[in-house]
């Protein structure tokens, strides 16, 4: 938590930082957190990139239907980067972890649920050094300014300069 810049977390959001080794009990942990009535629950994994303000607006709009619904964001390698639902449902949270965030495995594990599923894709999940190379390429595009501030670009640029030989792009 101490390494996350203060401007990164919105003031109006109730943010829960969860220790990864404890992920097997994520739903129990979330269940014990104070939630307001009719709240939306967004689980966003720390190694995800490519989400803009428009993406968040779209995600929250998709779950405002009368019917139970779920929004799943996935990476270009079919890894779940986020899950958003209306309220808390343990049967939707636990399978993300047990499926190792693999999209197809997750869908199989929740197939018995009567729920609308909206899938958004094309995001990056930085899971290994090869993904850092993809991040370098992605941040070279002008479109990345919609989800990555100039300050963050500068910080990434410093990181890329430090690892230039290893990136070899």
Per-residue pLDDT, 149? 73
pLDDT, position 93: 81
For residue 96, the model assigns a pLDDT of: 85
User: Strand, coil or helix: what is 62?
Assistant: helix
Average pLDDT of every residue of the chain? 77
Instruction: Name the CATH superfamily, with its identifier, for domain 15-126.
Output: Spore Coat Polysaccharide Biosynthesis Protein SpsA; Chain A (3.90.550.10)
Residue 119's pLDDT is 95
Contact (Cβ atoms closer than 8 angstroms) between residue 72 and residue 80: yes
Nearest to 104 by CA among 74, 124, 68: 74
In which element (H, E) is residue 80 found? strand 80-86
Q: In which band, very low, low, confident or very high, does the pLDDT at 167 lie, cut at 50, 70 and 90? A: low
* Percent of the residues in the chain that have a pLDDT greater than 70, as a whole number: 75
Asked whether the predicted pLDDT for residue 23 surpasses 70, the reply is no
Instruction: Please count the other Cβ atoms lying within 10 Å of the Cβ belonging to residue 17.
Output: 8
pLDDT tens digits for 103-144? 999 999 999 988 999 999 988 888 887 777 787 777 777 777
Residue 152, Cβ density class (10 Å: 0-12 exposed, 13-18 middle, ≥19 buried): middle
For 28, the token pair is 């129990």
As annotated, the residues of the chain forming the CATH 3.90.550.10 domain(s) are: 15-126
CA gap 57, 70 in Å, rounded: 14
- Please provide the distance, in angstroms rounded to a whole number, between the alpha carbons at the two ends of the chain: 31
Q: In this predicted structure, what is the pLDDT of residue 109?
A: 93
Q: What is the pLDDT of residues 64-80, one digit of tens each?
A: 877 788 999 999 889 99
How buried is 63 (Cβ within 10 angstroms: 0-12 exposed, 13-18 middle, 19+ buried)? buried
pLDDT at 91 over 70: yes
Own/partner contacts of 18-22, CB < 8 Å, gap of 24 or more, are none
Residue 22 in this model has a pLDDT that exceeds 60? no
């Amino acid at each position: 938590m101490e390494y996350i810049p203060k401007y990164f977390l919105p003031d109006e959001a109730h943010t829960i930082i969860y220790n990864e080794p404890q992920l097997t009990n994520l739903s129990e942990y979330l269940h014990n957190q104070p939630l307001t009535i009719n709240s939306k629950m967004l689980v966003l994994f720390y190694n995800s990139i490519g989400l803009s303000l428009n993406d968040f607006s779209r995600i929250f709009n998709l779950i405002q239907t009368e019917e139970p619904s779920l929004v799943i964001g996935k990476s270009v390698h079919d890894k779940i980067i986020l899950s958003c639902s209306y309220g808390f449902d343990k049967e939707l949270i636990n399978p993300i972890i047990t499926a190792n965030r693999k999209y197809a495995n997750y869908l199989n594990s929740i197939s018995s649920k009567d729920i609308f599923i909206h899938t958004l894709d094309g995001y990056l999940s930085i899971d290994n050094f090869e993904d850092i190379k993809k991040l370098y390429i992605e941040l070279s595009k002008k479109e990345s300014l919609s989800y990555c501030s100039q300050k963050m670009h500068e910080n990434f640029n410093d990181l890329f300069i430090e690892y230039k030989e290893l990136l070899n792009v």
